[in-house]
Amino acid sequence: MRIIPKERFVEEREEIKDLIKQGNIFIYPTDTIYGIGCDASNSKSVLNLRNIKNRETKPFSIIAPNIKWIIENCEISIEGMKWIEKLPGPYTLIFKLKDNKNSKEKVCKEVNDGKNTIGVRIPKHWISDLVKELGFPIVTTSVNLSGDSNMTNLEDLNTEIAKKVGFILYEGDKKGKPSTLVDLSGEKIRITER
């Protein structure tokens, strides 16, 4: 596992984008806590991530490349648009995926266990610029085994997870908490502080 500080990330940006395109699982900072993810359209990588986290079925969320991607691929109500206007920010918005082939190819079924909903984020953080440059969504989930505490610095990193990731984009301690979950996929909006 390679630790890449932010300064080196700037110098190696293109190489890092290539590693992500090749299917590497990696750890990265956000505006809240550290996340772990991979290309959300790569079934093999997403299955590997499920194995790393011991998370067989619970859906993962994604960092979308931009708001346009969310609008093109998700069913959004008037209320949902109000929440989209809060992005970028510390929110995970759950929408129904549009029922078209294009939407389903952009996020493999292993991300959301074949469900017709997806949790989307655009963190207020430079990681969102990287995802925008990639042009495709990446999986975002906390860096822990299911049920354990979240990673906020290298000391929190589970050694078993560390052995199985390609690299870490590291910027020191994170003081945040997981993003607020806003479920906009049903009749009523459900908000969960985590």
The CATH code of the domain that includes 180 is: 3.90.870.10
Q: What is the pTM of this model?
A: 0.94
Question: By residue range, what is the domain housing residue 113?
Answer: 2-192
13-27, 104-118, 132-146, 178-192: least confident range: 104-118
CA dihedral 131, 132, 135, 139 (to 10 degrees): 30
| C-beta separation of 117 from 58 below 8 A | no
Q: Quickly state the pLDDT bin for 3 (edges 50, 70, 90).
A: very high
Tell me the two tokens of residue 60: 């993962």
| C-beta separation of 103 from 40 below 8 A | no
Q: Is the dihedral of CA 19, 121, 141, 6 positive or negative?
A: positive
What is the maximum span of the chain, computed from C-alpha positions, in angstroms?
47
- When divided into structural domains, the chain yields a total of 1
Tell me the two tokens of residue 124: 């207020």
Closest C-alpha among 34, 31, 42 to residue 154: 34
Enter the DSSP assignment of 2. E
pLDDT tens for 128-153 read 999 999 999 999 999 998 778 899 99
pLDDT tens for 28-81 read 999 999 999 999 999 999 999 999 998 878 899 999 999 999 999 999 999 999
pLDDT mean across residues, the chain: 93
